[in-house]
Chain A
Amino acid sequence: MEAEDDPHALWPEHLVRLARTLDGAGAREKREILGQFWGILHVALLRYARAHARRMGRLSPEDVRDVVSEKASDLIARLDLKEWDPGAATPALLRSFLSTTARNGVVDALRSGRREVLVGDDLEPRGGRGIESATQEDAVSVDEFVRALVGCLDVLSARARRAWFLRVFYELSSAEIARHPDVASSPAGVDAMLARCRDHVRTCMESKGLGSHDLPPGTFVRLWELTERDRAGLGVGS
Chain B
Amino acid sequence: MSAHVSEDRLIDLAAGLLSGPESEPALAHLRACPACEETFRGVCRDLERTRLRAAPSRQRVALIGTVAALAAAVLAAAVVVPLWRSSRAVDPRAYWIPIETEPVDLRAAPPAADDALFVQATEAYRRHDARKVVELLAGRAIPEAQDPVRLLYASALLKTGDAAGTLQALEPLRIPSLPQPYRDRAKWVQLGALHALSRDDEATALAAELAARSGEFADAARRLARTP
Q: Which A residues lie at the B interface, using CB under 8 A?
A: 1-6, 8-11, 14, 27-28, 31, 34-35, 38-40, 42-44, 46-47, 63, 66, 69-70, 72-73, 109, 112-115, 122, 126-127, 129, 131-134, 139, 142, 166, 169-173, 175-176, 178-181, 183-186, 217-218, 220-222, 224-225, 228, 237-238
Contact = CB atoms under 8 A, between A and B. Distances in A.
16 contacts: A2-B39, A9-B12, A10-B18, A11-B8, A11-B15, A38-B50, A39-B50, A43-B50, A69-B180, A72-B50, A127-B4, A129-B35, A169-B45, A170-B44, A180-B59, A186-B63
Contact of B32 (A14, A42, A63, A134): A134
Contacts of A11: 8, 11-12, 15, 17
Contacts of A184: 58-59, 62-63
Contact of B14 (A3, A43, A181): A43
Interface in B164-191: 174, 177, 179-180
Contacts of A228: 16
Interface string B212-224: 1111001000000
Given A35-B54, A39-B54, A170-B41, 20 more contacts: A6-B9, A31-B105, A35-B51, A35-B55, A42-B46, A66-B215, A113-B218, A114-B214, A129-B35, A131-B38, A133-B33, A169-B41, A169-B45, A172-B52, A179-B59, A181-B55, A184-B59, A218-B32, A221-B31, A238-B15
A115 B212 contact: yes
B45 to A, nearest CB: 4
A14 B18 CA distance: 11
Interface in B108-135: none
Contacts of A10: 12, 17-18
B171 to A, nearest CB: 13
B108 to A, nearest CB: 12
B96 interface: no
